[in-house]
Structure 1
Amino acid sequence: MKPIRVLIAKPGLDGHDRGAKLIARALRDAGMEVIYTGLRQTPEQIVAAAVQEDVDVIGMSLLSGAHNYLFPRVVELLKEQEADDILIVGGGVIPDDDIPVLKEAGIAEIFTPGTTTTQMIEFIKENVRRV
C-alpha cells in the first residue's frame, strides 16, 4: 500500500514553524510522505497544494489565534473543490472552548501542546480515508 500523504501547513500570519517542522519530521519517520508548505499560507494556497499533491491529510499548525476563521475556511474550500475526503487536523495554542466549534466545522482533531507525536501518528493512521 502506498504511504499516507500529509500536507503540513502554516496558515495566516503565524511565523513560528518549529513545531510544524517537528511534526513533519515525526510523520516522515513514521513512514508517511510529508509536504511542508512553509509559512504564511492562505487557505486557498493550502487547498490548491493539497489537491495538486493528492494528499490524504492536511495538518495545520497555528499559534496566532486566527484558527476559528482559517481552519473552517480550508474545510469550505475543500468542499468547493470536491476534495472533502481529505482528513483535516489542526494543532497549536487553541483554547479548549474553541475545539468543539472547530470539530463541528469539519476539523477531525485538534492537537494542543502536550500531545505526543505518537498520538498524532496513531490518530492519522486510524482515521485517514484510503482508496
Structure 2
Amino acid sequence: MSVEAGTEQERNIRCLIAKVGLDGHDRGAHVIARAFRDAGFEVIYSGLHKAPDEIVNAAVQEDVDVVGISILSGAHNTLVPKVVEGLKEYDAFEDTLLIVGGIIPDDDREKLYEEGVDAIFGPGTEMEETIQFVRQNVKR
C-alpha cells in the first residue's frame, strides 16, 4: 500500500487477548489469538491469571483497539466489570472494543452488555464471525 504525502498509513487492528482471574484454561485464548493474527491483526496475549488492573494497564500501554477477555471460571460478573471500570478511569473505554469469550450463561449476558461489553462469543463460534465483528465494530 502506498502512502500519499500528508496521509498516514492505516495501522493494523491491535488486540489484547486476556485471561483474567484464576482461570487456567487458555486453549480458547490461544486459538482466537492465532485466528486474529492470521487475519492480520496485531495480537498481544496477556498470559494466565491476570488481575483486571493488569489487563487495563496492558491495554492502555499497548494502545489496543480491542480487548478480548477469555473467561471460563464463572467470575465474569465480577471481573469483567472491573476491566470496564479501569478502562473508564483511563478514558480508554469509549475507544476500545470489548469482547468476551467463554462460557457465559444466558442469564448473565444482558448484565455484561449493560456494563459495556460489545459482544460475547461462546464455544462453537466460528472464527470468521468473531473476526468480522471486530473489523466491522472497531472504534477507531
How far did 1:106 drift? Answer: 0.2
Aligned partner (choices 81, 104, 115) of residue 94 of structure 1? 104
Cα deviations by residue, 1:75-125 (Å, 9 ceiling, x for unpaired) = 011001111121100010110111111001000000011111111000100
Pairing of 1:1-131 with structure 2 (within 5 A): 1-84=10-93, 85-130=95-140
Paired residues in the alignment total 130
Secondary structure at the aligned position of 2:34 is classed as helix
The runs of at least 4 aligned residues of structure 1 exceeding 2 Å deviation read none
Secondary structure at the aligned position of 2:21 is classed as coil
User: Aligned partners of 1:120, 1:97: CA distance in 2, in Å?
Assistant: 22
Question: Structure 2: where are the runs of 5+ without partners?
Answer: 1-9
Identity of aligned residues (%): 62
TM-score by length of 1: 0.98
Cα deviations by residue, 1:14-40 (Å, 9 ceiling, x for unpaired) = 000011000000000000000001000
TM-score by length of 2: 0.92
User: Aligned partners of 1:129, 1:77: CA distance in 2, in Å?
Assistant: 18
Secondary structure at the aligned position of 1:124 is classed as helix
User: Aligned partners of 1:103, 1:47: CA distance in 2, in Å?
Assistant: 18
Cα deviations by residue, 1:57-86 (Å, 9 ceiling, x for unpaired) = 000000000000111110011001111121
Larger Rg: 2
Question: Structure 1: where are the runs of 5+ without partners?
Answer: none
